[in-house]
């Protein structure tokens, strides 16, 4: 049987890549997709945890994370669209009206 | 056959070593590709790879949900919004914060290292696997349903409330109020006739795009009888994007052919 740690390490790797993407990319949509990647990485860790411990609770939590992610995408995309309507740009650098 | 000589490789191990690189490649494509659509597609690759991993970890329900919810709904929504806001806006390479990119990559490596050291050696026993838990109620879906409508029923209700709030919130955010009344068919017709009366603009339909021997793309403008370009035959958006085609090279082939035909008939007339 393969060491279940491999799943956790893959999940950590995906999480780190997603975090770098959020910091590096300027397009709000791509940054948002990187957040989704981080959530997915967490889901993988939850499912792997369920596999390691042998109870299904981890899978239930992963399911709820998916629900929250779906709700978050809906609201986040609506915000991006409404910012685009007023500023004609999806770059996170352009939305700086709150800056001092 | 002596099975002891074969390495102990299970199906899930093979799956992992095929799918994990794909997931990482998809994630890297998401971060590195300059065009947002390519980023979205790499993201979809990564998500499908994760769905396969879920299936190999004894979570078939989550694997299906992953494909339906993430690659089906979420990524499609991302693509819709990408199409709405214009896919041609490339990511600017200008750094607003000095040395942000190298620092971000350094932070990513640090985070990965931290997580690796945290995880490394944390699991030193064989996994319990969910085979028994799945079999307890006759299947993975039944087992999850037992938990979801049993121990986690309150969380389930909260999730329902969250989805309702998110849907209403998104409608509220993307709703916009009209500042001018909507133009109906009658108003548009009146406006068109007024433009005809005032400026002599043609009130009928706009001319088609040009049809040439080699192309009839919508970017190719039509020619007026005197050979000049009909400006209105090409959409303004295409002109602004630079997608309009110059018709002169297109007409050359036709005029050459016509010239050749004329030459032949003249030859025949001579004979």
Average pLDDT in the A65-83 region? 91
Beta-carbon separation of B20 and A6 below 8 A: yes
Taking the CA atoms of B196, B200, B201 and B204 in sequence, report the sign of the dihedral they define.
positive
Alpha-carbon distances, residue B4 vs A2, B1, B105, B183 (angstroms) = 17, 9, 45, 80
Beta-carbon separation of A47 and B62 below 8 A: yes
Distance between first and last Cα of chain B: 91
Q: Is the pLDDT of residue A1 over 70?
A: no
CATH of domain A5-87: 1.10.287.3510
Look-up of token digits 């910012």? A83
Tell me the chain B residues in contact with residue A65 when contact means C-beta distances shorter than 8 Å. Answer: none
Look-up of token digits 């999730």? B159
pLDDT tens string, chain B, 271 residues long: the values are 455 555 566 788 889 999 999 999 999 999 998 888 899 999 999 999 999 999 999 899 999 999 999 988 999 999 988 888 865 555 666 667 778 888 999 999 999 999 988 887 777 777 888 888 888 888 899 999 999 999 999 999 999 999 999 999 998 888 877 788 888 899 989 998 999 998 888 888 888 888 888 888 888 888 888 878 888 888 887 787 777 888 888 888 888 888 888 888 766 666 6
Q: Is B133 on the interface with A (CB under 8 A)?
A: yes
Reported ipTM: 0.91
Question: CA B15, B19, B21: angle at the middle one, nearest 5?
Answer: 135
pLDDT at residue number B89: 59
CA separation for the pair B243, B234 (Å, rounded): 10
Tell me the chain B residues in contact with residue A95 when contact means C-beta distances shorter than 8 Å. Answer: none
Task: State the greatest distance between any 2 C-alpha atoms of chain B, in Å, as a whole number.
Answer: 101
Q: Where are the domains of chain B?
A: 10-88, 133-174, 205-270
CB-hemisphere CA count at 13 Å for B128? Answer: 13
Look-up of token digits 């794909």? B22
CATH of domain B10-88: 1.20.120.1200
pLDDT at residue number B1: 46
Beta-carbon separation of B122 and A30 below 8 A: no
**Residue from B40, B60, B74 to probe the interface with A (highest A Cβ count within 10 Å):** B74
Beta-carbon separation of A54 and B152 below 8 A: no
Beta-carbon separation of A24 and B101 below 8 A: yes
pLDDT at residue number B17: 92
**Residue from B67, B130, B138, B176 to probe the interface with A (highest A Cβ count within 10 Å):** B130
pLDDT at residue number B4: 53
């Amino acid at each position: 049987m393969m060491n279940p740690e491999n799943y956790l390490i893959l999940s950590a790797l995906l999480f780190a890549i997603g975090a770098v993407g959020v910091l590096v990319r300027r397009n709000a949509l791509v940054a948002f997709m990187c957040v989704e990647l981080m959530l997915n990485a967490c889901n993988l860790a939850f499912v792997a945890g369920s596999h390691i411990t042998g109870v299904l609770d981890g899978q239930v939590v992963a399911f709820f994370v998916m629900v929250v992610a779906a709700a978050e995408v809906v609201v986040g995309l609506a915000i991006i669209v409404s910012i685009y309507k007023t500023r004609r740009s999806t770059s996170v650098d352009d939305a700086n009206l709150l800056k001092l | 056959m002596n099975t002891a000589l074969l390495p102990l490789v299970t199906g899930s191990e093979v799956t992992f070593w095929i799918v994990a690189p794909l997931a990482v490649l998809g994630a890297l494509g998401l971060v590195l590709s300059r065009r947002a659509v390519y980023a979205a597609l790499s993201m979809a690759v990564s998500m499908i790879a994760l769905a396969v991993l879920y299936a190999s970890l004894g979570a078939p329900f989550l694997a299906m949900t992953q494909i339906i919810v993430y690659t089906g709904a979420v990524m499609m929504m991302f693509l819709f919004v990408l199409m709405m806001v214009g896919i041609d806006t490339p990511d600017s390479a200008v750094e607003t914060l000095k040395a942000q990119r190298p620092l971000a990559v350094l932070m990513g490596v640090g985070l990965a290292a931290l997580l690796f050291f945290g995880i490394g050696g944390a699991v030193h026993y064989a996994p319990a696997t969910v085979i028994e838990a799945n079999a307890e109620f006759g299947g993975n879906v039944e087992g999850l349903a037992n938990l979801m409508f049993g121990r986690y029923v309150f969380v389930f209700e909260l999730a329902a409330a969250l989805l309702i709030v998110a849907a209403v919130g998104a409608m509220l955010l993307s709703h916009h109020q009209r500042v001018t009344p909507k133009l109906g068919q009658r108003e548009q017709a009146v406006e068109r006739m007024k433009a005809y009366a005032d400026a002599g603009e043609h009130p009928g339909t706009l001319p088609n795009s040009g049809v040439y021997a080699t192309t009839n793309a919508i970017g190719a403008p039509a020619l007026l009888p005197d050979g000049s370009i009909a400006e209105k035959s090409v959409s303004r958006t295409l002109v602004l994007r630079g997608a309009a085609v110059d018709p002169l090279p297109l007409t050359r082939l036709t005029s050459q052919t016509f010239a050749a035909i004329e030459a032949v008939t003249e030859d025949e007339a001579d004979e």
